[in-house]
């Protein structure tokens, strides 16, 4: 039987849905005993959320003022200290998980599987390489713990249940290092849906031309209840914030509907939207590579089409 430990991601008060996706991935391992661990200054509410996820048997909490916000330098040695009973240790393939899990793996002298997109067996997985242009099947050597990050776009969220797993507080005996200090966090606050979990995403590229012009996409997004994304070129040019970047080095997303305006469709961008259910591309260049992956393509000027779309969507 597998014993799986999942490191919860959260913002200090709420569980990030990425954690739930990790649990869903763990379901595919076969018969497993699943534990979620919450490192936080005040873990109670987060732990209560985690305890409701289907097939989570135990939630462990590690309360410490050093865990607000979470720093890998502090969390990794604590995970390593509690690792021995587990056959698998998973974190999400978000910037949080990517930062943390290799540090854990190295402390355990274990290799890591990055970005699990499918589980073949308890030690065999599929993962994307070369910006998703190839999918490799990998097998982890016998005996070693499987340390991995889970590509959240590849998994549905696990169901939540009425019953609640046992919640237990622990304190791993580790002296926390003093060499890493949090200074500040600047997050663009918005009432729009979160890019990584939104059902609909409206995204803009270099063609938008300015941050002001990007407003037409926000307006359309609000009409659709959509999140707003951007290509790297748009982010580099300062039209959009860095946390809006979609692609190989930005966010990998899987919305029901992705609308790309003035995005050429470079492979590094496409890798971020491969799992979108429906892709709509609007580009004035009929040869743009984005049309090769689009379910619906429309050749035209986005500055004309965006307002038209808004009007047509407002009609009934």
Partner 1 sequence: MKRILVPIKRVVDYNVRIRVKPDGTGVVTDGVKMSINPFDEIALEEALRIKEQGHAEEVVAVTIGGNDCQQQLRTALAMGADRALHVLCDEVIEPLVAAKILLKLIEKEAPILAILGKQAIDDDCNQTGQMLAALWDRPQATFASKVEIAGESVRVTREVDAGLETLEIDLPAVITTDLRLNEPRYVKLPDIMKAKKKPLDVIDPVSLGVTVTQRIKATHYAPPAARSKGVMVKDTAELVTALRSKGLV
Ligand X SMILES: Cc1cc2nc3c(=O)[nH]c(=O)nc-3n(C[C@H](O)[C@H](O)[C@H](O)COP(=O)(O)OP(=O)(O)OC[C@H]3O[C@@H](n4cnc5c(N)ncnc54)[C@H](O)[C@@H]3O)c2cc1C
Alpha carbon 203 to its chain centroid, in Å, reads 17
Among 232, 246, 253, 262, binds partner 1 (CB under 8 A): 232
SS3 200: strand
DSSP 8-state symbol, 2: E
Sole window of 11-19, 45-53, 146-154, 263-271 interacting with ligand X (rule: CB under 6 A): 263-271
In angstroms, the CA 250 to CA 99 distance is 14
Complex with partner 1: residue 163 or 178, whichever CB lies closer: 178
**68, interface contact from ligand X, partner 1, none, CB < 5-8 Å by kind:** none
Minimum distance, C-beta of residue 236 to ligand X, in the bound complex (Å): 8
In angstroms, the CA 173 to CA 170 distance is 10
CB 48 within 8 A of CB 42: no
CB 35 within 8 A of CB 60: yes
Among 56, 60, 283, 294, binds ligand X (CB under 6 A): 283
Sole window of 29-37, 44-52, 64-72, 154-162 interacting with partner 1 (rule: CB under 8 A): 64-72
Residue carrying the six token digits 């990050």:
149
43 near partner 1 (CB under 8 A): no
233 near partner 1 (CB under 8 A): no
Sole window of 19-27, 41-49, 81-89, 103-111 interacting with partner 1 (rule: CB under 8 A): 103-111
Residue 23 parent element (H or E): helix 17-27
302 near ligand X (CB under 6 A): yes
Complex with partner 1: residue 34 or 105, whichever CB lies closer: 105
Minimum distance, C-beta of residue 270 to ligand X, in the bound complex (Å): 9
In angstroms, the CA 275 to CA 197 distance is 13
C-alpha dihedral sign at 109, 114, 120, 122:
positive
Sole window of 31-39, 175-183, 212-220, 281-289 interacting with ligand X (rule: CB under 6 A): 281-289
Complex with ligand X: residue 10 or 269, whichever CB lies closer: 269
Complex with ligand X: residue 92 or 262, whichever CB lies closer: 262
CB 172 within 8 A of CB 81: yes
Footprint (CB under 8 A) of partner 1, residues 151-210: 177-188, 196, 200
Residue 69, preceding peptide bond in cis (omega within 30° of 0)? yes
In angstroms, the CA 169 to CA 182 distance is 25
Among 13, 160, 249, 311, binds ligand X (CB under 6 A): 249
Q: Which residues of this chain interact with ligand X, rule CB under 6 A?
A: 205-207, 231-234, 245-250, 262-264, 266, 268-269, 272, 282-285, 288, 301-303
């Amino acid at each position: 039987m597998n014993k799986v430990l999942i490191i919860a991601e959260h913002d200090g008060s709420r569980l990030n849905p990425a954690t739930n996706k990790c649990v869903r991935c763990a379901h595919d391992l076969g018969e497993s005993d699943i534990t979620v661990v919450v490192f936080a200054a005040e873990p109670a509410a987060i732990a209560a959320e985690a305890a409701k996820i289907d097939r989570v048997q135990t939630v462990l909490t590690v309360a410490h003022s050093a865990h607000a916000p979470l720093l890998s330098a502090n969390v990794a040695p604590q995970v390593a200290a509690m690792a021995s009973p587990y056959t698998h240790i998973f974190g999400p393939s978000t910037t949080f998980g990517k930062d943390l899990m290799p540090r854990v793996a190295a402390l355990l002298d274990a290799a890591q599987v990055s970005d699990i997109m499918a589980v073949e067996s308890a030690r065999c997985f599929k993962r994307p390489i070369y910006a998703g242009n190839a999918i490799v099947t990998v097998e982890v050597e016998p005996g070693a713990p499987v340390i991995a990050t889970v590509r959240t776009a590849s998994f549905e969220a696990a169901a939540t249940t009425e019953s609640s797993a046992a919640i237990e507080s622990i304190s791993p005996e580790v002296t926390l290092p003093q060499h890493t200090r949090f200074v500040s966090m600047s997050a663009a606050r918005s009432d729009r849906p979160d890019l990584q979990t939104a059902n609909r995403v409206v995204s803009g590229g270099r063609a938008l031309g300015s941050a002001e012009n990007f407003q037409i996409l926000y307006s359309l997004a609000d009409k659709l209840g959509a999140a707003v994304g951007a290509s790297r070129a748009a982010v580099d040019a300062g039209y959009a914030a860095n946390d809006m970047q979609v692609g190989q080095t930005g966010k990998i997303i899987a919305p029901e509907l992705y609308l790309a305006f003035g995005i050429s469709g470079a492979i590094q961008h496409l890798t971020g939207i491969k799992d979108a259910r429906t892709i709509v591309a609007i580009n004035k260049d009929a040869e743009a590579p984005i049309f090769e992956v689009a379910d619906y393509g429309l050749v035209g000027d986005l500055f004309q089409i965006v307002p038209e779309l808004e009007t047509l969507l407002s009609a009934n």
